[in-house]
Amino acid sequence: MTDAPQIEPELDKIHNQVMWSRLVAIVEEQAQTLMRTAFSPIVRESGDLSAGLFDTRARMLAQAVTGTPGHVNSMANSVRHFLAAFPIDTMRPGDVFITNDPWKGTGHLHDMVVVTPAFRAGKVVGLFACTSHLIDIGGIGFGPDGRDVIEEGLYLPFLRLADGGALNQTLLDILRGNSRYPLEAEGDVLSLAACNEVGVRRLDVMMAEFDMDDLDALGEHIISASRSAMLAEIARLTPGRYEGSMRIDGYEAPIDLVGAVTIAPEKITIDFAGTSPPSDKGINVPMAYTEAYSSYGARMLIGPEVPNNAGSLSVIEVVAPENCILNAQRPAPVSSRHVVGQMLPDVVFNCLSKSPDFDTPAEGTSCLWNLILESHETRRHGGETAPTRFSILSVQTGGTGARPGVDGLSATAFPSGVSGVPVEIIESISPLLFRRKELREDSGGAGRWRGGLGQVIEIENREPHPFAIYAALDRIDHAPRGRAGGGDGAQGYVGLGSGNRLAGKGRQLIPAGDSLVVKTPGGGGYGDPAARDGAQRRHDVLNGYAKPEGQ
């Protein structure tokens, strides 16, 4: 007599998958709520945020599709610090917790992390967390010129934003009192709390629908299934240690980012021994941010279809010496940590290009070319008109590196994935006028597959006053490199319309009547340029991507 078919286990798998997908939908609604309610344009227009659900052991179960790796993967570590400060058994309904600790959050003071416990039948069943960027947090402003983190702005340790449903008005008063834009600062913090609350409500509805008392069993399924899937991906790879490096501009001197990726049977280790020491300026990277972007670089190539959560991240270890720029120690200045930190996927690609298992992309611009522009206060005499006060973060992008079989993407934010803030938004909230914003001809590296193009941007002040740029730009002295015989992408440039060149780092003035001219870098090419198809060459010339041969 044969045994009856085991239908129940298969139904359990389907049931778990449905609930897992439901969690992802909940955290995506959480993220969309944040985008719709945020005050800062970089959040509501660019999606510079993260949202996720964690179990009561601080393990990330689901992340929103909307968001950046720097926020998501650092937030994945941040929640365990919240639990250390506020143990589960001390939490009660209506509690909301907050910090912007760069070393236990997402890497600099401008990012707030907010955590809200979700209750069911009087018991904590999960934790919703989210992050977003505030336009101003006091200090010297959002630039790399600080000498330590204390100069860079207001630091909030792990605090209660709400206690049993009552907002911490003292905290909000301190926040408003330390921001040049108090209304926006308070509004952004409250939008973080609101998006978590949406997650809490949706989770309660889901758990009632599926008759769940807790998330324990589902959480274990999510984490074990994701870890097993990653281990299966690693088992297909050739074990070994693969080394690579990259030189970038830095601030006072060039920076060498040196990495080694070791593929072992059950673990991938990314080691940054040999990387340059910390900087005296605010381009240092806390370890949380280093882990976030280097693990993302590995996940791009290894198991990219496996969901990103505590299970899939558990097989990746990231290490860096304390005396290097990628493991900066308090109180190092870290405001512009993204300039260096977002280069790390390219470093990982350079390492894994030595493995026989991968055809990795060429280098791209990688770091965002954020134009942080502010009004410049000047002394006024007599009847002079005061300048309009503004602080703008205009997200701009360069080209990505070409990939085997595909041209690089033009004017695209990789690896952050954020969108640019539309010109119309910037012009509506400031006196700035964009005279030009167009693709930069011939900026993509030549190759069988062409690198993505950068941009040419020109901005002036419609008022007769100077304005300032907090420059935190890279790839000006060291171009994105091509791969497999492809050419380098074009180097970046920042200067004045009158012709004077500006530095890539630091606060500088654009005089009244002059304009700011920015040329973002292009991505490197892939493969022998002579092998590029003739039709593709003609397409490039016709569309203004490249000049005709001989010109």
Strands (E), 426-484: 432-439, 455-461, 467-472
Strands 455-461 vs 505-510: parallel, antiparallel or unpaired: unpaired
Which sequence spans correspond to the domains of the chain? 7-226, 361-551
Handedness of CA 146, 150, 152, 157 (dihedral sign): positive
| Tens-place pLDDT, residues 141-174 | 899 999 999 999 999 999 999 999 999 999 999 9
Contact residues for 150 (Cβ-Cβ < 8 A; gap 6+): 331
Distance between first and last Cα of the chain? 83
Give the pLDDT of residue 383. 53
CA 276 – CA 273 distance, rounded (Å): 9
Residue-wise burial string across 499-510, b where 16 or more C-beta atoms lie within 10 A, e elsewhere: eeebebbebeeb
Residues 89 and 72 sit within 8 Å (Cβ to Cβ): no
pTM score of the predicted model? 0.94
Query: Phi and psi of 131, rounded to 5°?
Result: -140, 155
The alpha carbon torsion through 354, 359, 363, 365 (nearest 10 deg) reads -140
CA 284 – CA 331 distance, rounded (Å): 10
Topology of domain 7-226, CATH: Beta-Lactamase (3.30.450)
With a cut of 50, list the residues of the chain below it in pLDDT.
1-2, 7, 381
Query: Phi and psi of 415, rounded to 5°?
Result: -95, 0
What is the C-alpha R_g of the chain? 24
| Tens-place pLDDT, residues 459-497 | 999 999 999 999 999 999 999 999 999 999 999 999 999
Give the pLDDT of residue 89. 96
Residues 290 and 258 sit within 8 Å (Cβ to Cβ): no
Cα–Cα nearest to 135, from 349, 394, 436, 314: 394
Residues 132 and 34 sit within 8 Å (Cβ to Cβ): yes
CA 360 – CA 267 distance, rounded (Å): 20
Two tokens, residue 105: 């959050």
Give the pLDDT of residue 287. 97
Give the pLDDT of residue 221. 96
Give the pLDDT of residue 7. 47
- Helix, strand, or coil (residue 337): helix
Residues 294 and 342 sit within 8 Å (Cβ to Cβ): no
Helix axes 287-301, 69-85, angle to 10 degrees: 130
CA 243 – CA 257 distance, rounded (Å): 11
Give the pLDDT of residue 104. 96
Instruction: Give the CA count within 13 Å in the CB-facing half-sphere of 325.
Output: 31
Residue 405 burial (10 A CB sphere; 0-12, 13-18, 19+): exposed
Strands (E), 136-282: 159-163, 166-167, 240-248, 255-264, 267-271
Strands 267-271 vs 316-319: parallel, antiparallel or unpaired: parallel
